[in-house]
Structure 1
Amino acid sequence: MINRQPTSALPVRTLGKSGLEVANLCIGCAPLGDMPDTFAYSVPEERALETIRAVFSSPITFIDTAASYGDGESERRIGMVLKELGGVPAGYTLATKADRDLKTNEFSGDQMRRSVERSLKLLGLSKLPLLYLHDPEHITFEEAMAPRGPVEVLLRCQEEGLIEHLGVAGGPIDLMTRFVETDMFEVAISHNRYTLLNIEADPFWDVCQRHGVGTVNAAPYGSGILAKGPRSYPRYQYADASKIYLYNAFQFETLAWRYGVPLAAIALQFSLRDPRIHSTIVGMSRPERLEETLKLASTEIPAEVWTEIDAIRRGQ
């Protein structure tokens, strides 16, 4: 383990009952797995490596990836840089996720163990600091919780010392709520469901608070429409945006222009300003995005903007 420390500090929060101290911003490494079918662009290996090197000397000290990102490619690239650095730098927290087999769709207990073991190998680690059960909507809650099923096997991996902290990351809020209410998970990620355009996860954060579960909000830009704008990127959650999302995105963009602030700053701070959310994941595809994200997070936004956003949403 090397002793490199972050160059400057961001607000740090305790990630629920995990006890992990993490930055309020988290780097999402899905794009670095080179997933053009998902993101509509490719990330060459050398640019990904440059981005990862920059991440591990930045003040954004929380990093998130998954076994499914590029079917191991994101983890492999991160592992290459970790080998250069001699391990995860001091002060940084790296999280990954256990996934179904992307070729066969197997989502069993045995597959969870294979996923954990592959992540350890690709990342070059002996223990995963934080690992999530990922996208459990691909099976039923009952299948996930069954004896010798995914959750039981991941808990066993934790007992064996392969995983330090266990979380759950997924989409449907009703399903995610059921997992949190088991009190088996320390951290939860919701994605694309707490943005300027979609606040479906709003009650979910309250559930997490009641159960002491750390909260991580992913995709505050809705996969890009709230960063690039609806004219440049008319997509939400990796698919064509609905008419209502496009309509509201144009209203939010006009509002941003009127107040002279970037739409992306409003979208990002919508998540950062919520005290129930411990960290917000922002995807990165190139080194310069780090500094851009820090600027967006610190951009001053007039209070009137939030009042008008509420009015636009009430008019839906």
Structure 2
Amino acid sequence: MTGSPIPISAGSGNWLAFLVGEDTPLRESIDLVHALFEEPRIRVLDTSNNYGGGESERRIGLAIREYGGVPDDFLIVTKADRDSATGEFSGVRMRRSLEESRERMGLERFPLLYLHDPENTTWESAMADDGPVAALVEARDAGLIGVLGVAGGPAALMQRYVETGLFDALITHNRYTLVDRSADTLLTVAADRGLHVTNAAPYGGGLLTAWPPPLERYAYAPVSEGIRSSAERVADICRRHDVPLAAAALNFSLRDPRIDRTIVGMRTIGDLAATIELAETPVPAAVWAELESVPLATADWRDPR
């Protein structure tokens, strides 16, 4: 095992995991990473510099060292982040973020790395000659990054970054689910331009995992009345057809041909087994037809259209 760069494969049947785990026993986190390394249906682990204040990357690094390296056919993906304490989002900070990630995980090079959450700075600052985008392009040109992507929330802003032509991969989160299609145009634009497209948070942060929902929240905020109403209708359709709500939510993303991978959060090996079961749960065509007819609260979407 050398941890050598591998190509970014396409195909909407793929999915990947991300690990935070700071409130999970360390041994469970390490065992999960090892299980992912040995699970042929998942060949990507996604993390970020600031997940868990760096604890996610630290635990992945411990797991890599204990395992003896990263399997040759496995991809570790991370993201360059602003400073979590000061909010600094500069070129200098991006270089430091990259170095922190390399040190924590013991990796010299990242085959795929994302600029993370650029909505936390201005467009002008992000695109400045000495700004975060320029710093990561420089790191890519120096060989520290293979493919450079952009990951964030607001769909219109993400589309603006996509259209610069500087990025070859995209992560959008919470904007393409059973109850929110804010990123629909973004997905089409990115796919048409040949970007590798990843859809994150198909459960909307937990609302679409079970009914009644375990949390009355959607996309990191209290759920609106309109989105909750749509989710309740979706849940009723799934109940009538004996399809788990979470299975429909996950497969909604997996079945879209514009989406190459889907991010699902995991903390334990049990989460891994449950995710595989949900991904492989058949969802009849009649269910999809009914789900498409559910009225959506477009005015309540994170990015109203």
TM-score by length of 2: 0.92
> C-alpha displacement at 1:54, in angstroms?
1.4
Q: Which residue of 2 aligns with 1:268?
A: 250
The answer to whether the aligner puts 1:147 opposite 2:137 as a matched pair is no
| Secondary structure at the counterpart of residue 209 of structure 2 | helix
How big is each residue's C-alpha offset from its partner over 1:26-55, in whole Å with a ceiling of 9 and x where there is no partner? 1122x32x2xxxxxxx32322222222211
The separation in 1 between residues aligned to 2:230 and 2:216, in whole angstroms, is 12
The answer to whether the aligner puts 1:86 opposite 2:43 as a matched pair is no
Cα contact 1:268–1:296 (8 A) shared by 2: yes
- Tell me which amino acid in the other structure corresponds to 2:215: Y
Residue number among 60, 66, 82 corresponding to 2:48 in the alignment: 66
The separation in 2 between residues aligned to 1:85 and 1:24, in whole angstroms, is 24
Residue number among 183, 186, 194 corresponding to 2:176 in the alignment: 194
Alignment root-mean-square deviation, CA: 1.7
- Tell me which amino acid in the other structure corresponds to 1:132: Y
- Tell me which amino acid in the other structure corresponds to 1:24: N
> C-alpha displacement at 1:238, in angstroms?
2.3
- Tell me which amino acid in the other structure corresponds to 1:228: A
Q: Which runs of 5+ in 1 are unaligned?
A: 4-17, 35-41
Cα contact 1:2–1:85 (8 A) shared by 2: no
The answer to whether the aligner puts 1:245 opposite 2:233 as a matched pair is no
The separation in 2 between residues aligned to 1:254 and 1:176, in whole angstroms, is 33
Cα contact 1:24–1:280 (8 A) shared by 2: yes
TM-score by length of 1: 0.89
The answer to whether the aligner puts 1:301 opposite 2:283 as a matched pair is yes
Cα contact 2:58–2:105 (8 A) shared by 1: yes
**Aligned residues with identical type, % of pairs:** 46
- Tell me which amino acid in the other structure corresponds to 1:301: V
> C-alpha displacement at 1:149, in angstroms?
0.6
Cα contact 1:107–1:150 (8 A) shared by 2: yes
The separation in 2 between residues aligned to 1:315 and 1:72, in whole angstroms, is 36
The answer to whether the aligner puts 1:50 opposite 2:50 as a matched pair is no
- Tell me which amino acid in the other structure corresponds to 2:147: H
Residue number among 97, 107, 114 corresponding to 1:125 in the alignment: 107
Tell me how many residue pairs correspond in the alignment: 293
The separation in 1 between residues aligned to 2:180 and 2:297, in whole angstroms, is 14
| Secondary structure at the counterpart of residue 119 of structure 2 | helix
The separation in 2 between residues aligned to 1:232 and 1:256, in whole angstroms, is 17
Q: Which residue of 1 aligns with 2:218?
A: 236
Cα contact 2:210–2:244 (8 A) shared by 1: no
| Secondary structure at the counterpart of residue 55 of structure 1 | helix
The separation in 1 between residues aligned to 2:108 and 2:182, in whole angstroms, is 37
Q: Which residue of 2 aligns with 1:39?
A: none
Residue number among 80, 94, 106 corresponding to 2:88 in the alignment: 106
Q: Which residue of 2 aligns with 1:255?
A: 237
> C-alpha displacement at 1:297, in angstroms?
1.1
Q: Which residue of 2 aligns with 1:26?
A: 16
Bigger Cα displacement from structure 2, 61-70 vs 246-255: 246-255
The separation in 2 between residues aligned to 1:268 and 1:282, in whole angstroms, is 8
> C-alpha displacement at 1:19, in angstroms?
4.9
Q: Which residue of 2 aligns with 1:310?
A: 292
Q: Which runs of 5+ in 2 are unaligned?
A: 299-305
| Secondary structure at the counterpart of residue 182 of structure 1 | coil
> C-alpha displacement at 1:210, in angstroms?
2.3
